[in-house]
Chains A and B, each alone.
Chain A
Amino acid sequence: MGSKSATERALNYLRRAPRVTLTDVRDNPGARTKGRLVRKKDNMAGQQYNDLRGAGKPPLGWIWGDFYKPWQRIYPGATFFNQDINLRREYPPLSLLELQRLIDLGWLDPSLPIDLTALCNTRQYRCDPSLRQFGVQLTDEGASVFAAKVNLEGASVFAAKVNLEVQWASETAIAAVERAGGVVTTAYYDPIALTAAVDPLKWFEKGEPIPRRHSPPADLIGYYTDARHRGYLASPPAVEAARSELALKIGYALPDRTDDAQHDMLAARKDPLQVFFGLAPGWVVNLADQTLLKPKNPRLLHYYSGRLDASKDS
């Protein structure tokens, strides 16, 4: 009995069991419970007090009590709206105006790639993974209303030539950056990799090896493999074609990239598993001794290289 696998034992049981009918394919008692539903007596349970009606509103779901019992937790059975409120992803926005300001005031160095880590290091932008925030969202506010930067055509444009790596970008924001000669890439960071990326110093001080980035979840794979969003998993020729298409659509001439001085910087891209430029997953950064500790164990190398097959030889 002990030598047989669970599958074998299950099949043996089935062979000896009487005929299985539909009534046998039902939940055990107590397996599923319905959440509490809103009843008639619960009507107006909350914000009807006069003074509060005109005031600044509390977080979604708060009904007159402490903040740890919002409506959707008291009534989990009411799934018709905001059921997934705790699962939703947030992307704190960063406008082009803010980005240009950070560059002009010296917070960011445009001669180096600008990614989430560089932005968080300025402390002018904040991304908190514990609040379901998943990275930078680039918005196009300030694409044309930045009066100090005027180009030959008489239009005021976003002028910095940057290599940007963000997590979400609108089409017009991508257009504004590419028009100036820059590069935008959208890349996914899973929560653990994100924790390392937003505060690398804290991560290194823990003594933990640099994590490897995992692939995006199923509902985001489509976004990051699309060249129109400049996804990091899209093929480079498709991204080139999307660049030309966007230039035709918005109506600007793509700048030629013969400036070799910045070519290496603009062409720099992280590997899909990499969190920091120049550092590989699995390395431990020893700040006290200013050294890097790299693993040699084949199992670790196999894991950190992203391979899935069971063989330990990498």
Chain B
Amino acid sequence: MIATMRGVVVARRVGPLRCLYSQFRGAYNVESLHPQQSSSAIPKVPASPSDNPLQFNGYIPTEEIDKSFSTSSGPGGQHVNRVATRAIIRFNVRTAKWLSDDLKKRLTERYSHRINNEGDLIIASERTRKQHLNLADCFDKLRTAVYECSEELTKENRQPDPEKAEELRLRQEQANRMRLLEKRRHSMKKEGRAKDF
């Protein structure tokens, strides 16, 4: 194999760490595969709360939320008695910087059953057998709760579109006309059953 090569370069021994990350670049290196990344190709992950006070973009600063773990309930013998798989997250709704005032208010109203006297929203999960999955479930519940409040607020505060209003009026008139037409038809059907002597 080596004898048929026209030439051969014999490299001296190099120290291990210096040559470890020396880069070989083939035709399929990652930069060539993705040369100009269009901004739409990369998903945008929120890194800060939304500017719109009624909207929630999914950002939750996990450092500002207290996480604690305890043992779960139910059957399971030694494992359930000893391993802390139940995850509990809590934070004070009033002092949360990542929630707008509107969202705070709505959250307090809708989830009053999860809020204690000090104003701490507490969410617990023992859905799975793993602690990290239960923690993920807690955050999932929190995110869902805030999303629901945000959707409610957005829906309540939407401004009616003038073009839509005109369309709606025309539709209502059409519906009224159809209703009266059907009423007349029904009436004629009933009259047609009467006997004229």
Tell me whether A306 is interfacial, beta carbon within 8 Å.
yes
Partner of A272 from the list B22, B26, B136, B140 (CB cut-off 8 Å) is: B26
Docked complex: B1-28 residues within 8 A CB-CB of A: 1-2, 5-13, 19-28
A290 CB to nearest chain B CB (Å): 5
Provide the residues of chain A in CB contact with B27, threshold 8 Å: 273, 305-308
Taking a contact as CB atoms under 8 Å apart, the answer to whether A244 and B45 are in contact is yes
B131 CB to nearest chain A CB (Å): 4
Taking a contact as CB atoms under 8 Å apart, the answer to whether A272 and B20 are in contact is no
Provide the residues of chain B in CB contact with A252, threshold 8 Å: 62
**CA gap between A273 and B1 in the complex, in Å:** 21
Taking a contact as CB atoms under 8 Å apart, the answer to whether B11 and A292 are in contact is yes
Taking a contact as CB atoms under 8 Å apart, the answer to whether B68 and A251 are in contact is no
Tell me whether A183 is interfacial, beta carbon within 8 Å.
no
Docked complex: A257-286 residues within 8 A CB-CB of B: 264-265, 268-269, 271-274, 277-281, 284
Taking a contact as CB atoms under 8 Å apart, the answer to whether B69 and A155 are in contact is yes
Q: Mark B26-61, 1 if CB is under 8 A from A, else 0.
A: 111110011001000111111100000000001111
* Residue among B12, B20, B132, B138 with most chain A CB within 10 A: B132
The residue of chain B having its C-beta at the shortest distance from the C-beta of A228 within the complex is B43
Provide the residues of chain B in CB contact with A207, threshold 8 Å: 1-2
What count of chain A residues pass the 8 Å CB interface test?
63
**CA gap between A257 and B138 in the complex, in Å:** 27
**CA gap between A296 and B4 in the complex, in Å:** 11
Tell me whether B133 is interfacial, beta carbon within 8 Å.
yes
The residue of chain B having its C-beta at the shortest distance from the C-beta of A307 within the complex is B27
**CA gap between A101 and B37 in the complex, in Å:** 40
Partner of A238 from the list B28, B42, B130, B131 (CB cut-off 8 Å) is: B42
Partner of B9 from the list A154, A212, A296 (CB cut-off 8 Å) is: A296
Partner of B28 from the list A236, A237, A273 (CB cut-off 8 Å) is: A273
Taking a contact as CB atoms under 8 Å apart, the answer to whether B58 and A235 are in contact is no
Taking a contact as CB atoms under 8 Å apart, the answer to whether B132 and A144 are in contact is yes
Taking a contact as CB atoms under 8 Å apart, the answer to whether B24 and A251 are in contact is no
Provide the residues of chain A in CB contact with B65, threshold 8 Å: 251
Taking a contact as CB atoms under 8 Å apart, the answer to whether A156 and B30 are in contact is no
Q: When A245-B43, A291-B10, A305-B26 are in contact, do A153 and B21 touch as well, CB less than 8 Å? A: no
Q: When A176-B132, A272-B28, A291-B11 are in contact, do A284 and B2 touch as well, CB less than 8 Å? A: yes
The residue of chain B having its C-beta at the shortest distance from the C-beta of A141 within the complex is B130
The residue of chain B having its C-beta at the shortest distance from the C-beta of A214 within the complex is B28
Taking a contact as CB atoms under 8 Å apart, the answer to whether A295 and B8 are in contact is yes
Provide the residues of chain B in CB contact with A308, threshold 8 Å: 27
Provide the residues of chain B in CB contact with A306, threshold 8 Å: 26-28
Tell me whether B89 is interfacial, beta carbon within 8 Å.
yes
Docked complex: A219-261 residues within 8 A CB-CB of B: 232-233, 235-238, 241-242, 244-245, 247-253
Taking a contact as CB atoms under 8 Å apart, the answer to whether B10 and A297 are in contact is no
**CA gap between A294 and B37 in the complex, in Å:** 35
Tell me whether A94 is interfacial, beta carbon within 8 Å.
no
A-B contact pairs, 17 of them (CB 8 A): A140-B132, A153-B67, A154-B69, A209-B1, A215-B28, A235-B41, A238-B43, A241-B45, A244-B45, A245-B43, A248-B46, A249-B136, A250-B139, A251-B135, A273-B27, A273-B28, A297-B7
User: Footprint of B on A, CB under 8 Å?
Assistant: 112, 140, 143-145, 153-157, 172, 175-176, 207-209, 212, 215, 232-233, 235-238, 241-242, 244-245, 247-253, 264-265, 268-269, 271-274, 277-281, 284, 290-297, 300, 304-308
